[in-house]
Amino acid sequence: MTNDKSRYQESRKISLISLLSNTLLAVLKIFIGIFASSTALIADGFHSLSDMASTIIVLISIKFSTTPADKNHPYGHEKAEALGTNILAVILILTAIFLGRDALLSLWQRDIKEPGLAALAVAFISIIVKEILYRYTIKIGKRINSKALIADAHHHRSDAFSSIAALFGIAGARLGFSFLDPLAGVVVALLILKVAYDILKSTSYELMDGRPAREKVDEITKIAAKISGVIDVYDLKLRSYGPNYIVDLKIVVQDQLSVVEGHNIACQVESQIIEQQADVKDVMVHVDPESVHN
């Protein structure tokens, strides 16, 4: 099973780096956006503020998910991470709606001032910083199998896209093509909505106990089938709990085996699955005699 303490420490480290970076970027974008008369950069600054909120949610959800199982939550609290990720997706949706609305209003009203050169520099810096954060966060998220961190990484990437749009919009406005600024904002809003949809789809599937990849089921089935005394393995179910899985399966054994012998085979199946699959936290094995199964 995944080491919760080291997993949280890694998540906390990257999340604090993200929080500090997003705070500095948000302040810089909004301040320079106002100073350089760039509505695109101001909007991008508020997008960075939403990144700050999402990173805080990631920290809280991962911390809560590492809480040990108790009487009221016998399977643990790992699904808190998926809940936190869903909240992050909702923040992305709201961000996209407000950014898209402002961009459409600007496009309709043609109320766009020519932004200053400083706005271009800040947008460029933001692209570099957010891409670095994306690559670092996605790397850690995949290594520790954290859906919340992976979702936060995609939030960084969406912010990088937002900064790219701001860069082109600012450059276009300075060259006389003022419509490019709000048009790019609409495109970015749609991209953010797509990211939010993908996150919601993935985490909702986990919360509804959707079946994991077929390859995972096949791997566990093969482990159980190799145990001496197991005639067949069927009705294997997997449930995701954060980075871990809970396994339910049925095995078939010979009729003449005693209850103790059948129990011992089931214990071997359980121990081998947990030993060979680091992300499996619990296994429930039901034993059927051969005559009943047939």
Which of 190, 207, 224 terminates a domain? The answer is: 207
Which of 181, 207, 233 terminates a domain? The answer is: 207
**CA distance linking residue 161 with residue 202, whole number of Å:** 22
Non-local (6+) Cβ contacts of 80 within 8 A are: 61, 64, 65, 67, 242
The torsion defined by the Cα of 129, 135, 141 and 143, in degrees rounded to 10, comes to: -140
**CA distance linking residue 262 with residue 54, whole number of Å:** 49
Instruction: State yes or no: pLDDT of 173 exceeds 90.
Output: no
pLDDT at 294: 63
| Residues 235 and 118 both lie in one domain | no
pTM: 0.67
> Which CATH number fits the domain that encloses residue 268?
3.30.70.1350
Q: What is the mean pLDDT of residues 245-249?
A: 89
Instruction: State yes or no: pLDDT of 69 exceeds 90.
Output: no
Task: Retrieve residue 92's tokens.
Answer: 């992305």
Smallest Cα–Cα separation from 49: which of 25, 32, 16, 84?
A: 25
| Residues 112 and 221 both lie in one domain | no
pLDDT at 138: 92
DSSP β-bridge partners for residue 246: 239, 282
pLDDT in tens, 94-138: 888 887 887 788 777 666 566 778 888 888 998 999 899 999 999
| Residues 110 and 14 both lie in one domain | yes
Q: What is the mean pLDDT of residues 226-244?
A: 87
**CA distance linking residue 12 with residue 282, whole number of Å:** 26
Contact 89, 57 (CB under 8 A): no
Edge-first strand order for the sheet with 280-289 is 232-241, 244-253, 280-289
Distances in whole angstroms, Cα of residue 63 to Cα of each of 115, 149, 177 = 42, 12, 48
Average pLDDT, the chain: 82
**CA distance linking residue 279 with residue 25, whole number of Å:** 37
pLDDT at 4: 61
Non-local (6+) Cβ contacts of 206 within 8 A are: 79, 82, 147, 240
Which carries the bigger pLDDT value, residue 56 or residue 285?
285
Which domain does 182 fall in, by range?
4-207
Q: 47-56, 132-141, 252-261: which range is least confident on average?
A: 47-56
Which carries the bigger pLDDT value, residue 2 or residue 159?
159
Contact 29, 40 (CB under 8 A): no
| Residues 270 and 146 both lie in one domain | no
Segment (H or E) for 235: strand 232-241
How long, in residues, is the chain? Answer: 294
pLDDT in tens, 254-289: 999 999 999 999 999 999 999 998 878 889 999 999
**CA distance linking residue 147 with residue 138, whole number of Å:** 10
Contact 47, 164 (CB under 8 A): no
| Residues 242 and 195 both lie in one domain | no
Contact 185, 169 (CB under 8 A): yes
The total of structural domains in the chain comes to 2
Alpha carbon of residue 4 to chain centroid:
17
| Residues 150 and 268 both lie in one domain | no
| Residues 23 and 102 both lie in one domain | yes
| Residues 82 and 190 both lie in one domain | yes
Identity of residue 37: S
| Residues 26 and 147 both lie in one domain | yes
pLDDT in tens, 7-21: 778 878 888 888 898
pLDDT at 57: 76
Which carries the bigger pLDDT value, residue 150 or residue 44?
150
Q: What is the mean pLDDT of residues 21-48?
A: 82
| Residues 97 and 8 both lie in one domain | yes
Non-local (6+) Cβ contacts of 35 within 8 A are: 116, 118
